[in-house]
Amino acid sequence: MWQAEVRVDLGAIRDNLTLLRDRTAAEVMAVVKGDGYGHGMLPVARAALGAGATWLGACTLGEALELRAAGITAPVLAWLLTPGLPLHEGVAADVDLSAASLAGLAEVVAAARRVGRPARVHLKIDTGLGRSGALAAEWPVLIEAAAKAQADEMIEVVGVWSHFACADEPGHPSIDAQLENFNAALAVAGRYGIAPRVRHIANSAAILTRPDAHFDLVRAGIAMYGLSPIPSHDFGLRPAMTARARVMLTKRVPAGQGVSYGHTYVTPAETTLAVVPFGYADGVPRAASSSAPVALGGQVYRIAGRVCMDQIVLDCGDAPVAAGDLAVLFGPGDDGEPTADDWARVCDTINYEIVTRFGSARVPRHYDGERGTVG
């Protein structure tokens, strides 16, 4: 028995992955960072591998090790590595590690020496995002050091990679510029005898709009979860997450009743209030106060007043709502319920943040479409 739940449709995740695979000849890395964008890292990883993904993207070393501890043997890339992490645990667990600087590469080499086995490395070039990665000016030095470490059998350069800044704005001039820089970086690597098995730069938006950016491997995140990386474009994806709760209590109140903290909402007429057990501890942004839509009994209401830590209130007028009824915050939209995109719009954020927030540990997650274990 649950009062609030997040339901994840693994069949939708498999279908979305199939749609993405149909659009590329490259291998697909399923990006499962952030607890699978709030959908649950392990079930998503298994569903993705079952649907033809051949790589997993984990972001942190901890996430990568958790995938290995669960018995998943597919290649896993970890890329957000700060100094002093136990990278030897990654090497020992066969986790691919990103190196974005000479210092980062040195840490990977030290880890390989400690384990007594070459580390699998992806060298990261900053082609224009201005975040992680080596700048073009330091790239030849990084490549030269990597070539030497590879000759010494301390590392195997498995990948060369980068990340787009504006792939979600098709036609943005930075996309072509980054591709040009990426190709130049690959040429430099080639001059030092580095021929990585996988060259990769494409995220969901680039998978769907830039076939010329697919190279050998694409990294699928938000699109695999069924949400569009470009909200104005419908790519035929199916949202996998539904957030819903049972109404805790309803009551009639008179006109003029202030609702929730600060009384920022006041009932305009006698009405029925419904209390829904979902608050900011469960992932509801406080910015959803008096704005985000919630479906209840075939109607869609705006949240009345402030979002609290544990609950929200709906003003249902004279609708026959009762304790125990199901309130749907968002879902695929099939039955007229709001979507994560609707929530993102009113909360002034992106669909990525909405679903990731709802991965809160307090809310039980239930899965539809589970199959046998893969990976």
Ligand X SMILES: *Cc1c(COP(=O)(O)O)cnc(C)c1O
The number of beta carbons lying within 10 Å of the beta carbon of residue 151 is 10
359: contact with ligand X by CB under 6 A: no
Q: How far is CA 101 from the centre of its chain?
A: 25
CB 339 within 8 A of CB 292: no
* 265 counts as catalytic: no
Helix, strand, or coil (residue 91): helix
- Binding to ligand X (CB under 6 A) within 189-228 occurs at 203-205, 219-223
Rounded-to-integer distance, Cα 276 and Cα 267, Å: 17
Tell me which of 14, 46, 163, 214 binds ligand X, using CB under 6 A.
Answer: 163
Give the residue closest to ligand X by C-beta: 221
Closer by beta carbon to ligand X, 77 or else 146 = 77
What is the full DSSP assignment across 197-237?
SEEE---HHHHHH-GGG-TTEEEE-TTTTT--SSTT---S-
Nearest approach in angstroms of CB 218 to ligand X is 9
Nearest approach in angstroms of CB 31 to ligand X is 4
Q: Which of 33, 37, 280, 301 is catalytic?
A: 33
Closer by beta carbon to ligand X, 167 or else 316 = 167
- Binding to ligand X (CB under 6 A) within 267-326 occurs at none
Nearest approach in angstroms of CB 163 to ligand X is 4
Q: Which of 192, 261, 280, 301 is catalytic?
A: 261
* 33 counts as catalytic: yes
For residue 171, give Cα distances in angstroms to 168, 231, 254, 280. 9, 15, 54, 37
Nearby residues of 152 by Cβ (< 8 Å), 6 or more positions away: none
Q: Which tokens is 112 given? A: 């390989």
- Binding to ligand X (CB under 6 A) within 9-68 occurs at 31, 33
Closer by beta carbon to ligand X, 14 or else 244 = 14
Amino acid (one-letter) located at 346: V
Closer by beta carbon to ligand X, 19 or else 273 = 19
Place of tokens 């998943």: 72
Closer by beta carbon to ligand X, 56 or else 275 = 56
Number of residues counted as binding ligand X (CB under 6 A)? 13
H-helix segments, the chain: 10-22, 33-37, 41-50, 61-69, 87-92, 102-115, 139-151, 173-191, 204-209, 340-346, 351-357
Rounded-to-integer distance, Cα 75 and Cα 185, Å: 24
Nearest approach in angstroms of CB 24 to ligand X is 13
Nearest approach in angstroms of CB 239 to ligand X is 14
Closer by beta carbon to ligand X, 209 or else 271 = 209
**Closest C-alpha to 178, from 154, 203, 197:** 203
Query: Angle 10-22/41-50 helices, nearest 10 degrees?
Result: 50
Nearest approach in angstroms of CB 203 to ligand X is 4
Rounded-to-integer distance, Cα 181 and Cα 121, Å: 20
Which secondary structure element, helix H or strand E, spans residue 351, and what is its range? Answer: helix 351-357
Tell me which residues touch ligand X (CB under 6 A): 31, 33, 79, 163, 203-205, 219-223, 229
Active site residues: 33, 261
